[in-house]
Chains A and B, each alone.
Chain A
Amino acid sequence: MVSEKNHNVSRRQFLTYTLTGVGGFMAAGMILPMARFAIDPVLQSAGAGDMNAVADVSELTEEPQRFDFSYEQVDGWYTSEVTETAWIYQEGDNITALSPTCTHLGCTVNWNSNESYQNQFFCPCHGGRFEKNGTNVPGTPPTEPLHKYEIEVRDGTVYLGKANPQI
């Protein structure tokens, strides 16, 4: 049996260490989640998963072509499948993907669909027209160009992100 006097750690020291240790854990347990919440936006990933594979580069031509793609959209507790369309064309090495949503009131525009307006996007609702690069034709109802999708090409596949205004 070893007498109390020979202990390297006194009762007082032992209690201090233990209490500091436990207190430290408790404080950390409270502060860390708060800190995590505070800096949460910084930690959010850039959302590389938001790009959708839409077409193969080999399919593209100088003429805009229609490609449909769909993805899952979560809205609160409700998951639905959303289908979107893009008009994609390639000029040299440049690939452009335009959103088919008319910038006037949101109808769907079509390429070359009206005989009177060759090589333009035409909106059947109110006769809005856009050039091949999406620029709105002055004198028709739309006031801004067609929106452009973010594009990424990986291994010969075209991935599209969000559609953004051109101006």
Chain B
Amino acid sequence: MKWTTEDIPSFVAEKQYIDTALVPLLPINFDNSIKQSAAMAEFITVMAAEIERQFHGRMLLTPPFTYLSEEGVQASKERLEHWQQQMKGAEIKHIIFLTADSEWKKVENELDEMLIWMPLVPFENMDSEYKKQIISEQIKQLLPLVVNKWKENP
């Protein structure tokens, strides 16, 4: 389910089936790494949309969690935990964080939820056929991770 007026009513109506939230984590920079920040946003947005398409009926794709890199990963993590509490309060059982920012790897153990870190694939100058192929290859690797998470803890 996407965060749109079209999908949210079905999320509310079918809540007992939709127990997973997918949260993209996007770093924001205005200094030299602004370009990388944009590339990450582009890449993760496409990936998240594709995962949502596969698991439309059980997954809610939330708006991205954005943070300034300068803020420091500890501070971002605290804010993210707040999101997490809110979602748990809304009876969402599984939360999946999707990011290309390697900072999160440092605090992965402190997060209670699943973190999927994907190395950034820059889409610039890539022709669309090749791009599609890359995306579908990546997605193929990701799907079992999600399905296993459900299996372990249904």
Binding stretch for chain A, among B55-63, B65-73, B117-125: B55-63
The minimal Cβ–Cβ distance linking B102 to chain A, given in whole angstroms, is 29
Query: What residues of A have a CB within 8 angstroms of the CB of B147 in the complex?
Result: 124
Interface of B is mostly: helix
Which A residues from 105 to 122 make CB contacts under 8 A with B? Answer: 105-108
Interface residue A125 (Cβ < 8 Å from any Cβ of B)? yes
Binding stretch for chain A, among B10-18, B21-29, B79-87: B10-18
How far, in whole Å, are A102 and B14 apart by their CA atoms in the complex?
15
Number of interface residues of A (CB under 8 A): 16
Do B54 and A105 have beta carbons less than 8 Å apart? no
Do A108 and B17 have beta carbons less than 8 Å apart? no
Interface residue A126 (Cβ < 8 Å from any Cβ of B)? yes
Interface residue B143 (Cβ < 8 Å from any Cβ of A)? yes
Q: What 13 new A-B contacts, CB under 8 Å, besides A83-B132, A124-B147, A125-B17?
A: A68-B132, A101-B56, A102-B57, A104-B17, A104-B57, A106-B57, A107-B55, A107-B56, A108-B56, A124-B146, A125-B59, A126-B57, A126-B58
Residues of A within 8 A of B (CB): 68, 70, 81, 83, 101-102, 104-108, 123-126, 141
Q: Provide a sorted-by-A list of 14 A–B residue pairs whose CB atoms are within 8 angstroms.
A: A83-B132, A104-B57, A105-B10, A105-B18, A105-B56, A107-B55, A107-B56, A107-B57, A108-B54, A108-B55, A108-B56, A124-B54, A126-B17, A126-B57
The 7 closest A-B pairs by CB, nearest first: A105-B57, A125-B58, A106-B56, A107-B57, A125-B57, A108-B54, A106-B57
